[in-house]
């Protein structure tokens, strides 16, 4: 099998695994509190827990060879009711952040969210992995138990193979007499400085994303804190035996989340592990530009100055800040939208936000202020009309969906029409009004990615807000809400979507109130 085919097979397997896990988690926690949809926000959340608990622990920590271990023990046992819990929170939040970051990387890869204009977020995340591991490993050193002794010696031998070292680092750990208190002062400095650099890198990581979510849902945050408290009381974080450089470490327990490279250093040698980690980091960095079987990105959104009034709705809705405003080309005192080709991801959300994307306009051709060439609004309207003209019987349903959600291959029937597009938010709310007002269908269903997990980040969020009259353009109040349904079920919800459509049709055929609303609206 060719390398690119193996890569696609790995990606496909990961995607199916994540889809299955996400469906289970949504059943357990609801889609709004599904942790797999908020891995980035959870990483920020755990970072702040680590930072806050770290400040508390630092107050009581003694930066000396003889005092480091004793001060940590005092915090753990003499302050078990608070200090011990704070230490456990510090340890477990660090581990949880490592897990979330790793899953976040794997999931973005599996969902094809790392190339094109998304390359910046992907590439800027690679150094964060090194900073995260360095921060965590430095924390283990400060405890100065036998695990810290093993890490210190192995790390020194690992760095000694690099040509940048003037004096061997390992010489500092030959015996107890060779180590000074200045070593712990340096460790504390690094354990403060590296996390600060990590925080800066995290904000750079999200710089090109608008309306970014850095806080998880309240229910998820509260549940996480409660779970960590229970674990901290049940299995508190404890030190191993105190370090003693005069005695060789023969047996040690390792935290496998952050310390997994260390057994490899022992078995393969320091040089081989450097090649492995640097090679893996290099591969991840160039991954967005490696050839694959994925189709090339479609052409970017195009602005038509004659139909752009500079309202800024497309600017407000763009998930990647690709739209800005400039002085209008030929309308004095007005502005018009302009698209940055390096940031546009061709989702079409901007077209759905444009006020000129209304089928009720009295124009010969529905040309809008902004749209994407792959599915212009002027093409969406006749496509909708042609599909709906073919429907028969009662309970006629128009289903608008997205290419990253459920597959409509077997959904269409003589009474169900389906149109899939890059993102459901490309559909202007006026289209729903038009379909029902012209009696082209009895009901409209909007489908797409799972709630909180839009492929383009904000599509289903914006659609919900438009329908709830919280975001322009709104779905007008004259549209009977009983004739419109939104179902954010994703790829894994294919069977459920088909059932929902059948149930919706049954409702449209037998609910007299819905029928009366449809007649009065038509």
CA 398, 496, 401, 35 torsion-angle sign: positive
pLDDT of residue 7: 65
Q: Does the structure show a pLDDT above 60 at 519?
A: no
User: What's the pLDDT at 130?
Assistant: 96
- The Cα diameter of the chain in Å comes to 91
275-291 per-position pLDDT tens digit: 999 999 999 999 999 87
* 439: pLDDT strictly greater than 80: yes
- Top-confidence range, 79-83, 101-105, 263-267, 330-334: 101-105
Query: Is residue 516 pLDDT above 90, yes or no?
Result: no
Range among 130-144, 171-185, 246-260, 279-293 rated most confident: 130-144
Round to whole Å and give the CA distance between 173 and 193: 23
How does residue 382 score in pLDDT terms, banded at 50, 70 and 90? very high
pLDDT beyond 60 at 1: no
Distance (Å, whole) CA 227 – CA 232: 9
Across 224-237, average pLDDT: 95
Does residue 164 carry a pLDDT above 80?
Answer: no
Give me the residue spans of the domains in the chain: 10-287, 302-521
CATH number for the domain formed by residue range(s) 10-287? 1.20.810.10
Consecutive H or E run containing 303 = strand 302-303
Q: Kindly report, residue by residue over 460-477, the tens digit of the pLDDT.
A: 999 999 999 999 999 999
The DSSP secondary-structure symbol of 242 reads B
* Residue 147: closest CA among 256, 47, 64, 62: 256
Q: Which residues pair with 397 in a beta bridge?
A: 416, 443
**Share in percent of the chain as helix, strand, coil (round to 5):** 60, 10, 35
Beta bridge partners of 191: none
Helices (H), 287-376: 313-317, 349-353
User: How far apart (Å, rounded) are the C-alpha atoms in residues 66 and 289?
Assistant: 52
Q: What is the pLDDT of residue 165?
A: 64
CA 366/CA 39 separation, integer angstroms: 41
- 178 neighbors 172 (Cβ within 8 angstroms): yes
> Which residue, among 506, 462, 470, has the nearest Cα to 486 in the 3D structure?
462
Asked if 414 and 370 touch (Cβ cutoff 8 Å), the reply is no
The tens digit of pLDDT for each residue in 201-214 reads: 999 999 888 888 89
pLDDT, residue 211, reads: 85
How many Å apart are CA 305 and CA 458, to the nearest integer? Answer: 26
Assess whether pLDDT exceeds 90 at residue 295: no
Residues 173-191 have a mean pLDDT of 83
- pLDDT band (50, 70, 90) for residue 431: very high
The token pair that represents 100 in the structure block:
């979330």
Name the residue with tokens 């029902």. Answer: 436
Average pLDDT for 290-318: 84
């Amino acid at each position: 099998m060719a390398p690119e085919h193996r890569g696609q097979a790995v990606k496909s397997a990961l995607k199916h695994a994540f889809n299955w896990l996400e469906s289970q988690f949504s059943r357990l926690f609801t889609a709004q509190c599904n942790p797999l949809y908020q891995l980035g926000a959870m990483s920020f959340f755990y970072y702040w827990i680590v930072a806050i608990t770290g400040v508390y622990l630092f107050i009581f920590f003694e930066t000396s060879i003889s005092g480091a271990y004793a001060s940590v023990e005092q915090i753990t046992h003499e302050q078990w009711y608070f200090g011990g819990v704070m230490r456990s929170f510090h340890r477990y939040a660090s581990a949880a952040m490592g897990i979330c970051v790793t899953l976040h990387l794997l999931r973005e890869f599996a969902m094809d969210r790392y190339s094109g204009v998304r390359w910046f977020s992907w590439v800027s995340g690679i150094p964060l992995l090194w900073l995260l591991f360095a921060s965590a490993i430095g924390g283990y050193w400060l405890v100065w138990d036998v695990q810290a002794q093993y890490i210190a010696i192995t790390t020194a031998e690992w760095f000694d193979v690099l040509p940048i070292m003037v004096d061997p680092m390992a010489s500092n750990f030959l015996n107890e007499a060779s180590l000074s208190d200045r070593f712990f002062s340096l460790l504390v400095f690094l354990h403060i400085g590296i996390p600060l650099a990590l925080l800066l890198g995290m904000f750079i990581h999200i710089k090109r994303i608008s309306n970014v979510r850095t806080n998880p849902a309240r229910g998820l945050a509260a549940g996480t804190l409660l779970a960590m408290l229970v674990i901290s009381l049940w299995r508190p974080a404890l030190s191993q035996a105190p370090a003693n450089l005069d005695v060789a470490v023969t047996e040690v327990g390792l935290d496998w989340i952050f310390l997994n490279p260390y057994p490899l250093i022992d078995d393969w040698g320091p040089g081989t592990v450097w090649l492995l980690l640097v090679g893996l980091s290099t591969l991840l960095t160039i991954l967005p530009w490696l050839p694959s079987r994925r189709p090339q990105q479609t052409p970017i959104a195009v602005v038509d100055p004659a139909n752009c009034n500079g309202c800024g709705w497309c600017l407000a809705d763009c998930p990647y800040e690709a739209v800005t405003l400039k002085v209008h080309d030929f309308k004095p005192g007005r502005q018009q939208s302009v698209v940055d080709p390096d940031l546009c991801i061709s989702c079409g959300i901007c077209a759905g936000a444009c006020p000129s994307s209304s089928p009720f306009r009295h124009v010969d051709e529905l040309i809008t202020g902004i749209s994407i060439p792959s599915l212009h609004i002027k093409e969406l309207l006749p496509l909708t009309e042609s599909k709906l003209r073919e429907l028969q019987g009662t309970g006629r349903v128009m289903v608008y969906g997205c290419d990253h959600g459920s597959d409509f291959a077997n959904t269409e029937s003589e009474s169900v029409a389906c149109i899939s597009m890059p993102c459901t938010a490309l559909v202007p709310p006026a289209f729903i009004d038009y379909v029902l007002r012209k009696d082209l269908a009895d009901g409209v269903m909007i489908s797409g990615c799972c709630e909180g997990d839009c492929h383009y980040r904000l599509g289903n969020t914006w659609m919900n807000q438009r329908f709830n009259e919280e975001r322009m353009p709104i779905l007008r109040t004259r549209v009977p809400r009983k004739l419109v349904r939104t179902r954010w079920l994703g790829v894994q919800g294919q069977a459920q979507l088909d059932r929902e459509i059948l149930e919706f049709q049954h409702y449209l055929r037998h609910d007299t109130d819905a029928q009366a609303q449809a007649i009065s609206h038509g």
